[in-house]
């Protein structure tokens, strides 16, 4: 997978096609003042990337894929499953102090809380810092008292694009998302098993991987 930049001429071609579609390569060459042969590589690039559509005996059309929302396959096709990492999980009755110890041991940004294996809450470093500064007895109070509780936790699933995870992280201003599998109980209640997490660290690591061309 590769990333390329459009040249000025390619951008000019896109503009001309948008304004005059359908337009033949002959007409395009005429407007740009070059030969048809000179345009051929540009038109090849623009059709192969799906920006333009070439219709035999009609000419070039601007593709419905539209303007700038071009072929971001590279970023959009990588799934959460490919970049998720192991979440740090404690049970609801763990003391705040013990949860913080887990945070340090795993160098985690967010601790996820489960009850009988189902996700019930999350606590961030910021939440812990706030509690540590207050009058709470962190050796006695369970993490279940201070956590952000379901359904107020933004989740993501294995099949979602990594791009979607990054978008949720930014939009909801959180550091980390639990990756979940939905289950419906006999009473018809939605429950979530946690199978991983996607944090800003995972996204940054992916960004480095893409940038390094791996």
Of the candidates 6, 16, 32, 154, which one interacts with its own copies according to CB under 8 A?
Answer: 6
Of the candidates 18, 38, 41, 86, which one interacts with its own copies according to CB under 8 A?
Answer: 41
Q: Report the distance separating Cα 57 and Cα 138, nearest Å.
A: 76
- Min separation Cβ 176 and its own copies, Å: 11
Q: Which residue has the tokens 């396959």?
A: 73
b/e string for 11-21 if b means 16 or more Cβ within 10 A? Answer: eebbebbeeee
Question: Do residues 84 and 179 make contact, with C-beta atoms less than 8 angstroms apart?
Answer: yes
Q: Report the distance separating Cα 28 and Cα 40, nearest Å.
A: 11
- Diameter of the chain measured on Cα atoms: 80
Asked if 183 touches its own copies (CB under 8 A), the answer is: no
CA 119 to each of CA 91, 92, 138, 148: distance values in angstroms, whole numbers, following the listed order: 9, 10, 22, 11
Q: Which residue has the tokens 């949720």?
A: 168
Q: Alpha-carbon Rg of the chain, whole angstroms?
A: 25
Residues 94-133: x/- map of binding to its own copies (CB under 8 A)? ---x--x--xx--x-----------------xx-xxx-xx
Q: Report the distance separating Cα 194 and Cα 196, nearest Å.
A: 6
Which of residues 119 and 131 has its CB atom nearest to its own copies in the complex?
131
- Min separation Cβ 47 and its own copies, Å: 8
Residue ranges in 122-181 that form contacts with its own copies under rule CB under 8 A:
125-126, 128-130, 132-133, 138, 163, 166-167, 169-170, 173
Asked if 214 touches its own copies (CB under 8 A), the answer is: yes
Asked if 57 touches its own copies (CB under 8 A), the answer is: no
Which of residues 150 and 169 has its CB atom nearest to its own copies in the complex?
169
Tokens of 190: 């939605």
Which of residues 54 and 145 has its CB atom nearest to its own copies in the complex?
54
Q: Which residues bind its own copies (CB under 8 A)?
A: 1-6, 40-41, 44-45, 47-49, 51, 67-76, 97, 100, 103-104, 107, 125-126, 128-130, 132-133, 138, 163, 166-167, 169-170, 173, 199-201, 203-208, 210-214
């Amino acid at each position: 997978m590769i990333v390329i930049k459009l040249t000025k001429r390619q951008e000019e071609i896109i503009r001309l096609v948008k304004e005059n579609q359908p337009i033949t390569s002959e007409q395009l060459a005429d407007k740009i003042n070059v030969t048809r042969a000179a345009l051929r590589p540009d038109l090849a690039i623009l059709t192969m990337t799906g920006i333009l559509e070439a219709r035999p005996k009609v000419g070039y059309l601007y593709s419905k894929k539209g303007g700038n929302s071009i072929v971001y396959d590279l970023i959009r096709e990588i799934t959460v499953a490919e970049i998720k990492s192991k979440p740090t999980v404690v049970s609801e009755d763990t003391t705040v102090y013990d949860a913080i110890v887990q945070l340090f041991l795993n160098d985690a940004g967010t601790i996820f809380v489960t009850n009988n294996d189902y996700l019930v809450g999350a606590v961030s470093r910021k939440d812990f810092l706030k509690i540590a500064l207050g009058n709470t007895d962190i050796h006695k109070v369970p993490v279940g008292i201070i956590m952000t509780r379901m359904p107020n936790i933004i989740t993501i699933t294995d099949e979602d694009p990594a791009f979607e995870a990054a978008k949720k992280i930014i939009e909801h201003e959180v550091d980390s998302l639990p990756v979940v599998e939905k289950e419906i109980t006999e009473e018809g209640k939605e429950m979530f098993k946690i199978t991983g997490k996607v944090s800003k660290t995972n996204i940054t690591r992916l960004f480095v991987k893409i940038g390094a061309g791996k």
